[in-house]
Amino acid sequence: MRIYYGQGLHLFTNPLFYLPTPSSPSKSRRQKTPPQDRTWGCVQRAKGYSEDRHCMTAAETGTKERQIGELPEGTEFEQPRLFDPPAPGRGQRGPLTPTPVAPLPSEVSGDSSLSVGITWFHDQLSKRKYSENTRRSYARATDYLLRCFGQSHRLREISVADMERFANWMLSQKRSAKTKEITITAVRTFFRFLEDAEIIPYSPVADIYFDRVDSPAPRLLHDAQVDALRKAAAAEATTAEVPDTVPQLLLCLLLDLGLRLGEVDRLQVDDIDLSIPLRPVVEICYNEDRHRGKRRRLLGPPQLSSYLDAYLRQYTFKPNESRLDNLLHCARRGLQAYITALGDAAGLGQPLTANRLRWTYAAAQWREGIPAETMRARLGVSVKRWEYMSRKLDELTKRPV
């Protein structure tokens, strides 16, 4: 293959790489050759196009060409790299960096360090299908434990007196009362797991409790606010510039059935039975056996059938391939964005949340005189949680004096 001097020397993959004509460097910077007069090698067909992908070609301008060299046939040319190759590790090249593996139960003993025991504890939480939020909050709680005792502290050396000092230390921290309660609950779960696995003979925190703190109940929606939400959702589905049926369906599931936002997020099309359109049935499914109390079948309002039919006609495809089996096309964060926008459209003073809609549904059922056990089943809460909710509902639904 022959190489010529012309207006510039170009590599086949990038027209920015060229060598200026040596006769007049300053002039070549000022003058630009029109693209149609250049040869771009294998990137663009022009004069002197070469079939060899590993080659250099000279730009040809005018009629003057000067041969400066000739490469033997079969010579391959590799374009210089713009960047250094990625270092071995988490990139596409080289071996992956090994990640720490949780120790087996047989490898954990009373002589193991606290950090090893906590690593084993987090692995047990994953194996027992604890929710992501629970694992995250327990991880923060065990960080407090490491901060207090240190990573190398042995498990069998942690005594009841040590845990009492830990409790006093937690009380002195500038944290909310609810955070302190969750922390001691997580620590109690950690030592209970160690005791059940016979890693330690007893739990040093079994008899240590913080004062239980009730989470504040959200403010209920007034009847006028509920009507404003329904009108805003209906307007969004019919008269908006770009109609969207998601707010109407979402409001029905949260306000008329009292579902949690996570339950709506996991809902699938097959979970709604429309065999009798005027009596749709919504089935709330949980795979883990420890959540069996949350499994329930709810009778929905008649308008749920029309809302679902309108939604399925609008969203005939799922843009997110990871949610092909889910009823709604967006995940939990997107659902919360829908709820917030709906509250703004209705003119609510405070931000609207799914929990606020769920409590409004519970208060409406409580005012109608629904039996307590029926309400507990509809809401899918435990007996202990229902004690708290019923006490709050009594306070929230008192008649004005």
Residue spans of the domains in the chain: they are: 2-70, 105-196, 223-394
For residues 206 and 382, the answer to whether their CB atoms sit within 8 Å is no
Task: Please report, in tens digits, the pLDDT of each residue of the chain (401 residues total).
Answer: 444 444 444 444 343 333 444 444 444 444 444 444 443 333 333 344 444 444 444 444 444 444 445 556 766 656 666 666 655 444 444 444 444 455 555 678 888 888 889 999 999 998 888 888 889 989 988 888 888 888 888 888 888 888 888 888 888 888 887 788 888 889 999 999 999 988 888 888 877 766 666 667 778 999 999 999 999 999 999 988 888 999 999 999 999 999 999 999 999 988 999 999 899 999 999 887 778 889 999 999 999 999 999 999 888 755 555 566 788 888 889 999 999 999 999 999 888 999 999 999 999 999 999 999 999 999 999 898 899 899 999 988 887 77
- Tokens 């409001």 belong to 251
Give the span between the Cα atoms of 361 and 235, in whole angstroms: 22
Residue 178 has a pLDDT of 78
CATH topology of domain 223-394: hpI Integrase; Chain A (1.10.443)
User: Pairing relation of β-strands 272-273 and 281-284?
Assistant: antiparallel
For residues 145 and 114, the answer to whether their CB atoms sit within 8 Å is yes
Phi, psi (degrees; rounded to nearest 5) at 91: -85, -160
Q: In three state form, how does the secondary structure of 75-102 look? A: CCCCCCCCCCCCCCCCCCCCCCCCCCCC
User: Pairing relation of β-strands 272-273 and 2-5?
Assistant: unpaired
**What pTM did the predictor assign?**
0.61
Q: Which of 350, 344, 339 is nearest to 219 (CA)?
A: 350
Give the span between the Cα atoms of 219 and 400, in whole angstroms: 16
Phi, psi (degrees; rounded to nearest 5) at 160: -65, -40
Helix, strand, or coil (residue 246): helix
- Tokens 């360090």 belong to 113
The second-level CATH assignment, the architecture, of 105-196 is Orthogonal Bundle (1.10)
Classify residue 296 by its DSSP letter. E
Q: Name, in order, each residue with C-beta under 8 angstroms of 108's C-beta and a sequence gap of 6 or more.
A: 116, 117, 120, 155, 197, 199
- Tokens 């190759």 belong to 85
